[in-house]
A = this chain, B = another copy of it.
C-alpha cells in the first residue's frame, strides 16, 4: 500500500493526448491547466453551495460511476423539486481515460449504453440543471460532503480454469483512498460502491484514511497519541447495475444494501441513498458492518455463477444421452422455487460473475489471513464457467468433421459478440473465447453483432476499455487477431462460411430461419446452436437443407437427424 502522497501528474510533453472511442483527440492537461481547473472548482462549488446543494464527488466515471453521477445529480427535494446535490465526476487524466472529462462537461455520457435514458440523463444534468460537471483534479475531494468511490477493482487470473491462481488488483483503489484521506474534510462521507474483496472497507480503506487523518494532524493530539484523530466516516453500498435497456433503473429503481464502519457513517449513507434512490418502492437494507454488505455482493454474484455453472455438466450429459436440456429447463422452471434456473450458453461473461467469487476467496486468505481453504463451490463455479466456451469449439470441430471438413481449413462466422442477449457489453464474453479457441485451432473467423461496432477485446492492446482485460493471454496464435473481421451485416458475415455459430440469442438472430441462413451462406454448412435458439422444426429443416447441426445441451438433435434421414 502506497504511503507516498498522491498528486495528479501533469502531462510531460504537450503532444500527450487521450483518444475517445469515436476517435477525437484530447490533449492531456499541463501544469497551468491544473491550476486553472482548481480555480474553476472553487468557484463552481461556492456558487452551488449558495444554492443550498451538497457537493458529491464520484471517483471513477466508468460503467457504474458515470450513471451513478447522473442519478445523484438528478435527485431533487421531494417537496420543492429543487436539486439536492452538485456532482463532480472525477477521473485521473490518463491517456486512456482523460477524454471522459471533456465528454461529460459537454453533457455527453462517457459510456455506451442500450438504455435510451442514459444520454438524456447526463445531458439534462450537465446542460439544463447544471448539477453535474467533471474534473480531473483531486482537489475536488477537499470540497466534498460525500465522496462516492467507483474505482475498478479487478481480479487477475494467472491461469484459465483455476481462479485460485490469481489475485485482487486493489492498487488503484488504495491509491484513490490515499488521495481521499489526504484531502477530504473529516466530516465527509466516503461511500465505497466498488465491488471489493470482503473486508476491504475495514481492513484496507479504514487504516488508510485513519493514518492520513493522523498525518494531517486532524483532531486533538496528545503527543504521539492519535486517539483524538477523528473517525473516518466510511460506508459501503454496492450497485446492482445491469447492462441493457434498464441500466439507469437498475441503479435508481432497485433494492440496495448499505452499511457503515460506525453508527454515524451508517446513518449518513442511509440518508444519502434514501435521497437519491427510490427506496419507497425498493426498500434499503441496512447491515451492521461493511464486511456484511461486501460479503452480500460477493455471495449474490457467486450464487448466480454457481447456478449457471451447475448446468454445464448436465449440458454435457444431455448432449451425450439424447436429452434436450432446453426443454428440461423449461419444465423445471414451472416450479416457482426453481424459476431462476438458467441455461448457461457458451460461457458466462460480463464484468462481475467471472471475478467476484475470486475476490471472496482472495480476501479470506489474504486480508483475513486464514491458511485453510473453505471454498469449494464458489471457485469451482468460476472455473467451470471460464472454460465452458472451449466446448463450443469441440462442437464446431465435430460438426465440420461430419461434413468431411476441419477447423483449420474453415471459415467460421460467430454471430453475437456480447456476453448477454440484446446488449453490446463484450467483457469476458463466451464468444470471445470461442473465437480465440477456433483461431488457435487455425480457423478464419468472421464476427457479427448488431449491438457491437468495435469488439474492443480484439483491438490493439492499448485501446479501450483496458489493456490485458481479455482472455487473450491464454491462447496461442492470437497475433493476427487484430485482423478479426466484424461484418457490417449478416449476409456479409455468412457468405461462403463453413460453419455458423449462433452464440448469443440476440433478437435478430432468433428471427432467422434456415432458408435465409443457407441462402446467405450459399452452400450447406455446420450450424452450432449455443443458446437453444433453434426450434426442433428449424433443426429438422437445416438437416433437410443438407446442413449439420449441433447444439450445447441439445442431445436430441441426433434423433431429429435420424428422423430426417429416414424421411419421417
Contact = CB atoms under 8 A, between A and B. Distances in A.
Q: For this complex, into which size category does the number of interface residues on chain A fall?
A: 35 or more
Contacts of A321: 198-199, 291, 295, 364, 368
Given A255-B334, A341-B303, A291 B322 contact: yes
Q: Considering residues A322, A324, A339, which has the most beta carbons from chain B within 10 angstroms of its beta carbon?
A: A322
Contacts of A303: 307, 310, 332, 338, 341
A313 B317 CA distance: 27
A323 interface: yes
Given A303-B310, A340-B337, A328 B380 contact: no
Interface string A254-290: 0101000000000000000000000000110101110
Contacts of A307: 303, 306-307
Interface string A145-185: 00000000000000000000000000000000000000000
Contacts of A556: 288-289, 292
Given A292-B327, A300-B335, A380 B378 contact: no
Nearest to A309: B377
A377 B368 contact: no
Contacts of A285: 327, 330-331, 334
A374 B314 CA distance: 8
A240 interface: yes
A377 B323 contact: no
The oligomer's copy count stands at: 2
A367 to B, nearest CB: 9
B374 A292 contact: no
A536 B446 CA distance: 59
A201 interface: no
Interface string A351-386: 000000000100010001010001111101100100
Contacts of A41: none
A161 to B, nearest CB: 12
A292 B325 CA distance: 8
Contacts of A476: none
A484 to B, nearest CB: 32
Contacts of A210: none
A314 B295 contact: yes
A304 interface: yes
A557 to B, nearest CB: 12
Nearest to A332: B300
Contacts of A313: 374-378
B374 A328 contact: no
Contacts of A320: 368, 370
A540 to B, nearest CB: 13
Nearest to A282: B334
A453 B322 CA distance: 47
Interface in A471-485: none
A335 B320 CA distance: 35
Interface in A455-504: none
A492 to B, nearest CB: 37
Given A300-B338, A303-B332, A380-B380, A374 B310 contact: no
Contacts of A198: 317, 321, 323
A559 interface: yes
A317 B255 contact: no
Contacts of A309: 377
A318 interface: yes
B377 A288 contact: no
A512 to B, nearest CB: 24
Contacts of A316: 374
A299 interface: yes
Contacts of A257: 331
B317 A240 contact: no
Nearest to A375: B313
A410 to B, nearest CB: 27
A94 to B, nearest CB: 35
A438 to B, nearest CB: 23
Nearest to A331: B285
Contacts of A135: none
Given A255-B331, A295-B314, 14 more contacts: A198-B323, A255-B335, A288-B327, A289-B556, A295-B317, A295-B328, A300-B332, A303-B332, A309-B377, A310-B378, A313-B376, A313-B377, A317-B375, A376-B384
18 contacts: A255-B334, A291-B323, A295-B318, A295-B321, A295-B323, A295-B328, A296-B328, A296-B331, A299-B328, A302-B310, A303-B341, A306-B377, A309-B377, A310-B377, A317-B375, A320-B368, A338-B340, A380-B380
